[in-house]
Amino acid sequence: MMDQAKENRFNLVFNIFLVTGMIVAVTITTVFKLQQPGVKTFMLLLAAFGSVMGVVNTVLSANGHILTFVFGFLDVLAATVVCLDNGIMGNFALHAFYFLPMQFVGFWQWSKRGAKVKSGEEDSRVKARRLTRKQWTWLAAGIVAGIAVMYFVLYMVDSAQLSAGKIDSISKPKVLLDATVMTLNIAGQVLLSFAFMEQWYIWILVNISSISLWTVALLGGTGSGNAAVMLIKYIFYLMNSINGLRIWLKLCKSPDHVGPLVADLDN
């Protein structure tokens, strides 16, 4: 009983630390950008609001709380509007037609696996599950295929920009990294929505890749103000992912932690 009480206190302190730290990072980013000329104040504040919702979303998901999808919906909705306003149609389509609907799918699936909106009870959290060997195989094949498709699409987009004179050259490693991160995000969202513990391995990879990108940007001196804050942000995300993995390894120890996905969809 004492062990559980200590763990609850640790999670509370750790979550407050993560949320506070990431909100500070988002605030610094917003203040920094507000100083720049020609900034759309409303869209910048909307993006900041979405970022804060994303912070709360990640912490709640690590703790197996179903309200993660409420805050996730607000985060994705804000990102959808921002992408549309900036003419980033690829990301707009991804958020509007994939990430947004997946918030409803996730809420539906988690509610079927015992998650409740009411907090403060141990059984209010989702009953997490593990991938079977066959599902691991399908996941790996899907990620490889997804990276290949994304690489082709992003390379074609860069080729079009190169022909139009908007960029000077195409960096194939950057295109590959972008394709990998995008595919891993899509795979991670699927695993999150269907309450698979293995999602945290995906998020850890995504966050490590993002930390690498922003470290390179910081050392290169390009956009140092933003790069420093983004680096801090993804370090916090990585810590949250590691804590999420620790928590979910316990959440999936129930007898029904493995089950066919098709059967769940049919119910």
Residue 139's pLDDT is 95
Judge whether 124 lies within some domain: no
Judge whether 26 lies within some domain: yes
**Range with top average pLDDT, 43-57, 107-121, 168-182, 189-203:** 189-203
Overall number of domains in the chain: 1
Q: Which residue has the higher pLDDT, 22 or 249?
A: 249
Judge whether 168 lies within some domain: yes
Judge whether 1 lies within some domain: no
The whole-angstrom separation of Cα 168 and Cα 164 is 10
Judge whether 213 lies within some domain: yes
Question: What rounded mean pLDDT belongs to the chain?
Answer: 83
The whole-angstrom separation of Cα 31 and Cα 240 is 25
Alpha-carbon distances of 73 from 93, 94, 207, rounded to whole Å: 15, 14, 21
Judge whether 172 lies within some domain: yes
Residue 20's pLDDT is 92
Residue 228's pLDDT is 67
Q: Is the pLDDT of residue 254 over 60?
A: no
Judge whether 32 lies within some domain: yes
The whole-angstrom separation of Cα 124 and Cα 126 is 7
pTM confidence score: 0.82
Judge whether 222 lies within some domain: yes
Mean pLDDT (whole number) for 59-78: 93
Q: Which residue has the higher pLDDT, 140 or 54?
A: 140
- Residue 109: closest CA among 142, 66, 76, 71: 66
Expressed in angstroms, the distance from the first to the final Cα of the chain is: 36
Weakest-pLDDT range from 62-71, 225-234, 258-267 = 258-267
Q: Structural domain of residue 247, as residue ranges?
A: 10-115+131-266
Q: Which residues contact 52 (CB under 8 A, 6 or more apart)?
A: 23, 26
